[in-house]
Structure 1
Amino acid sequence: MSEHFAGSCNEQQSRTNLPAWSQLEQHATKMREATLRELFDADPDRAAAFGIQDLGMYADFAKNRINAETLTLLTELADQCGLREKMAAMFGGEKINISEDRAVLHTALRAPRETTINVDGGNVVPEVHEVLEKMAGFATAVRSRTWRGHTGEPIRNVINIGIGGSDLGPRMAYQALRPFADRNLHLEFVSNIDGADFVEATQGLDPAETLFIVSSKSWRTLETLTNAATAREWVLAAFDGDASSIASHFVAVSTNTEGVPEFGIDPANMFGFWDWVGGRYSLDSAVGLSLMVAIGPENFIEMLGGFHDVDEHFRTAPLERNIPALMGLISVWYNNFLGAESQAVLPYSHYLAHLPAYLQQLEMESNGKHVTVSGAPVDYQTGQIIWGQPGTNGQHAFYQLLHQGTKLVPCDFIAVVEPFSDLAHQHDLLNANVFAQTEGLAFGRTEQELRDAGSPEEQIPHRVCKGNQPTTTLLLDRLDPRSLGTLIALYEHKVFTEGVIWDVDSFDQWGVELGKLLADTIAEELTADSVPSMDHDGSTTELIRRYRTGRGRE
């Protein structure tokens, strides 16, 4: 166990006993009464004090329910939790994934070639660049149409089969970077074990022109291998059962050197990664192979540069000007001291449509934990519920609750200055909505303002918006491969910051295992020829019985 992560837990049983935690609780009693209107009245220059221009973006923290004292106390809390020491432990390759005794080195995936990062006595950076070079060679072959299918046809369709981080990352990034993708290549993503996902993804495609990238580190993931087996049968059916066709239409992202060849994939077409890369942090590893095929090796490397820019910023910037650290600390402020239970992520970009779903996994799988790294129960709230949808669509769906509901929902707004299309006037309207929504959420609309505007008296109670809903705005200069890497890395390090403050292991996900184990048993019970003997609660047993009846199995 890493001394950086174990020591503080042995010495400090609960974060709530830290001096800064107690001071923040006292401070919160005052800040609950303060409104954003009052905070801006008291300090008209808040934008300068709480805005940071760096990393190709402007991060506006001014519309948060914080003041200088809040940030001082939050950074003191970070110091008392050893945030800087734990950053160094992560970047240094220490095994900070305590429950699995693993290093956590997604940062090594984007480290420059000359960097040295040792794990178990060996520098892992040369291995990373060896895999990147292999990926680039494959991507170039597909993009140049020199990779041929079984009948000699060039590949025109690429289907990524994976789930969780092996799906959400490349799917999100492909949508985000569509303007940089080869439009003559058709990409699809299959993740759900529901067969409809596979059927729809392959609808109308020619197997002779289709390549599958199967992404499963262990080569044991049920959903992925089930879909891969279906894909295998689909290809074999097209080539009269000729098993030699598999090698031309499948490659693997995995570490299972036995399972991959058994499937029929040439081991030369297996792209590996390492146990120090967690699935939700793996987009910039071989898991991103389908993305590299789509946007090309040069753009993929540029994206890695954006990741690395943030790594360096996070590692070196003072906490009070450190964008991801502030994002994490402010999240803790709302979660643990002001009672928020969820956070909305609202990208005002069609290309970032899948970002909220990606961040759901990143944050909720990482920090949805009920024990500390030492195994002691926590006595405070940990991970928040992450949700959201692109603007302006969300404005016509759930913004009513944000403006007039009774829940505190901090929101991250993400906007882009430069438009991608020639429809610049629509881009202006899009961003007018960003700035209008953050202003409206912060300051609302009072009874007097409504009267002055001539609203009917009987409507005024229904039209008042109290405001005081906090927002952070990330205004990107542009959306391109480098800025996408920057954006993702901001949230990765935000999650790390939260995990350190909450004293949880942000890099395991044992809670995911229970459902998988139960599903294995129930799958056999659903398909058994005769009525099985079942050991479930009454509700589950009745559901299984009714399903079997509906399928004609009893």
Structure 2
Amino acid sequence: MTAPIHTKRLDQLDLHNTLKARAAAMQRPENHLKRLLAEPDRFEYFSANGGGLFFDYARQRLDQETVKDLVSLDGRLGLRERFARMCDGAKLNVTENRAVLHTATREFGNVSIQVDGRDVMPEIRDVREQIRIFSERIHQGELRSAGGRPFTDVVVIGIGGSYLGTEFVSTALAAFADKKIRLHYLANVDIHNFGAVARAIDPQSTLWVVISKSYTTAETSANTHLAEEFMLDNGIEPARHMVTVTAKGSPGDDPDRPVLRTFHMFDYIGGRYSVTSAVGGVPLSLYLGYDRFEAFLRGAAEMDAHARTATPEENLPLLAALISVWNTTYLGYGQQGIIPYASPLAKLAPHVQQLNMESNGKAVDTQGKMLPEPAGVVIFGEPGTNAQHSFFQLAHQGKAFPIDFIGVRQPQYTQYTVRSKGVTHHQELWANLLAQARALAEGQDNPDRARHFDGNRPSSILLLDDLGPINVGRLLAFYEARTVYEGFIWGINSFDQFGVELGKKVADSLRAQIALRNDDPDHRFAGIDPISEDYLEMLFE
């Protein structure tokens, strides 16, 4: 028999009260970060290498005893055990009775992963091979538009997890996009999104990639219908210019509605965890080439292996998750900043925002019991140095929030070495990264209170050697594993999103009323709240 999965959560442990006491002690003046940072060997003790990345958490509000207590949660809560069982196909999505196997999409070993008595790896390998062949045929000119022209534009139609991760990766790796294909995203049902895309593309050489597991998401369905009408208006047969990424048997996988190609996605991969599946694989392989997409997958796989097997003291995503929970549950920080000092990572924060907040913004545990307080943290961010001229006034003097600073040793463009004030652009960037982390931690005394900074504001630095496909894959998997570990610690299910579905149900009723008015100008709105009725009347004025 399979051993039961751990169901305990952090607040049910005796250690919970110990950590509360340690958090109270951390408020004492002697535990201000500027004093903690003066400890010998702090940088060595509070940093770790793993999975191809370097993680420095010396500027977090932690002492060695607290770190030991946090690390002990691995054994007390079976954290790495749960992660391993997730990777092996255990049904950790308990509310939907599903396995959680985004890690399988970047598995290249000769392994078998069983779900309901069936090995899922053959179909995953098949889809990867289908993506490779399809993208290469496009690049080699074997597959062309209806008019015989090479495809020059790809439009991704999809919302949420159907595009955010892909947009992060395509933005991060745009410097490697040499396939003469432009990539666009049509996510929002706002007509301005469609209008902007329509102006940017050449309809005669555009391939539309519709990404939807169920093929019933309202926004994606509306945009798909509009795209089809747009093609017909331009004399284009949609079936010759459309690809679908969807579940087997969905309306997007219907032989009676032929498309150029269909790629399958599976119910054991959630949308926000899906960028290494066909969801990201199809557009990224078209944009970057399959070889670069595979290198990205292999980087993610390396971080998966690290997250699964590294000791707690050296396990980067586990350490980051423990620190995040410490900051949120015990020190009371409700926000988390992600500030990459690398412009190509501009879309990292929006991706992690969905990944983490949709996963861990929960009020009940895996047993359906209410938590003593809701889990999760608000994620936001912007690349440095832009962020410094945007919201860092608040970061230094307003309500504090922990920050993940991300640095890159080698930029994507090395040919520009002109110096300003004695340093190159990349060196200037590093000076600012290190300065912000130091200034936030240490603060500044000044008799002029407007120029006084308390400091004691925590941050970590995550360091990448470069921004190639492998490291972008490692970075993606780091944040995925961190999110999963946070959920394990809080005792919640990080793999459902019923809060998203509630708003959709309400929208369904309002949409029905609008449709009735469209058909009958005399229709009176009824059966909805009075405020919404007033707003709908405005829509038709």
TM-score (norm 2): 0.94
For residues 27-42 of structure 1, what are the structure 2 equivalents within 5 Å? 27-33=22-28, 34-41=31-38
* Equivalence for 2:460: 472
Contact 1:158/1:211 (8 A) holds in 2: yes
1:498-525 residue CA offsets vs partner (Å, 9 max, x unmatched): 1011111000001111111111111122
1:325 counterpart (318, 324, 342): 318
Q: Distance in 2 between matches of 1:59 and 1:113?
A: 27
Letter in 2 for 1:222: A
1:201: how far off?
Answer: 0.8
* Equivalence for 2:405: 413
Q: Distance in 2 between matches of 1:478 and 1:73?
A: 34
Give the SS at the match of 1:98: coil
Q: Distance in 1 between matches of 2:112 and 2:254?
A: 36
1:404-461 residue CA offsets vs partner (Å, 9 max, x unmatched): 11x23000001101022223411111111101100111111113xxxxxxxxx6xx21
Letter in 1 for 2:440: L
User: How many pairs does the alignment contain?
Assistant: 527
1:218 counterpart (186, 195, 214): 214
Give the SS at the match of 1:462: helix
* Equivalence for 2:416: 423
Contact 1:4/1:86 (8 A) holds in 2: no
1:337-387 residue CA offsets vs partner (Å, 9 max, x unmatched): 000001000011111111100000000000011001111000034100000
Q: Distance in 1 between matches of 2:3 and 2:440?
A: 44
Contact 2:52/2:303 (8 A) holds in 1: no
Name which of structure 1's ranges 516-525 and 470-479 shifts more when overlaid on structure 2: 516-525
Name which of structure 1's ranges 516-525 and 279-288 shifts more when overlaid on structure 2: 516-525
Give the SS at the match of 2:180: coil
1:302-359 residue CA offsets vs partner (Å, 9 max, x unmatched): 1111111111111111111110000000000010000000100001111111110000
Letter in 2 for 1:428: Q
Matched, 1:195 2:188: no
Give the SS at the match of 1:171: helix
Q: Distance in 2 between matches of 1:277 and 1:532?
A: 43
1:316 counterpart (291, 303, 309): 309
Q: Distance in 2 between matches of 1:248 and 1:290?
A: 17
* Equivalence for 1:362: 355
Letter in 1 for 2:357: M
* Equivalence for 2:18: 23
1:533: how far off?
Answer: 4.2
Contact 2:106/2:298 (8 A) holds in 1: yes
* Equivalence for 1:451: none
Q: Distance in 1 between matches of 2:40 and 2:59?
A: 12
For residues 258-269 of structure 1, what are the structure 2 equivalents within 5 Å? 259-260=251-252, 266=258, 269=261
Contact 1:21/1:77 (8 A) holds in 2: no
Contact 2:246/2:253 (8 A) holds in 1: no
* Equivalence for 2:420: none
1:459-497 residue CA offsets vs partner (Å, 9 max, x unmatched): x21111111110010111001100001001111111111
Give the SS at the match of 1:518: helix
1:100: how far off?
Answer: 0.3
Matched, 1:492 2:485: no
1:138-168 residue CA offsets vs partner (Å, 9 max, x unmatched): 1112222221111111111111111001110
RMSD: 1.8
Contact 1:353/1:389 (8 A) holds in 2: yes
Matched, 1:44 2:43: no
Contact 1:219/1:256 (8 A) holds in 2: no
Matched, 1:506 2:494: yes
* Equivalence for 2:503: 515
Matched, 1:393 2:386: yes
1:268: how far off?
Answer: 6.8
Matched, 1:302 2:295: yes
Runs ≥4 in structure 1, deviation > 3 angstroms? 2-5, 261-268
Q: Distance in 1 between matches of 2:531 and 2:416?
A: 55
Letter in 1 for 2:411: P
Matched, 1:446 2:445: yes
1:64: how far off?
Answer: 0.4
1:103: how far off?
Answer: 0.2
Matched, 1:232 2:228: yes
Letter in 1 for 2:427: D
2:342 counterpart (342, 346, 349): 349
* Equivalence for 1:181: 177
1:265: how far off?
Answer: 5.2
* Equivalence for 1:452: none
1:298: how far off?
Answer: 0.7
Q: Distance in 2 between matches of 1:380 and 1:128?
A: 39
Contact 1:335/1:381 (8 A) holds in 2: no
1:57: how far off?
Answer: 2.6
Letter in 1 for 2:429: L
Gaps in structure 2 of 5+ consecutive residues: 418-423
Letter in 1 for 2:201: L
Contact 1:4/1:85 (8 A) holds in 2: no
* Equivalence for 1:453: none
Which structure has the highest helix share of the two? 1
* Equivalence for 1:540: 532
Q: Distance in 1 between matches of 2:260 and 2:120?
A: 21
Q: Distance in 2 between matches of 1:507 and 1:208?
A: 40
Contact 1:246/1:265 (8 A) holds in 2: no
1:61 counterpart (57, 64, 69): 57
Matched, 1:432 2:420: no
* Equivalence for 1:382: 375
Letter in 2 for 1:379: P
Contact 1:526/1:547 (8 A) holds in 2: no
Letter in 2 for 1:357: P
1:247-289 residue CA offsets vs partner (Å, 9 max, x unmatched): 2200100115352265975367110021100000000000011
Residues 520 and 260 (structure 1), Cα distance of their counterparts in 2 relative to 1, 3 Å cut: same
Matched, 1:252 2:249: no
1:91 counterpart (83, 87, 94): 87
Q: Distance in 2 between matches of 1:56 and 1:76?
A: 24
Q: Distance in 2 between matches of 1:206 and 1:8?
A: 54
Q: Distance in 2 between matches of 1:26 and 1:39?
A: 18
Contact 1:113/1:129 (8 A) holds in 2: no
Q: Distance in 2 between matches of 1:350 and 1:478?
A: 13
TM-score (norm 1): 0.92
Contact 1:362/1:495 (8 A) holds in 2: yes
Q: Distance in 2 between matches of 1:408 and 1:158?
A: 41
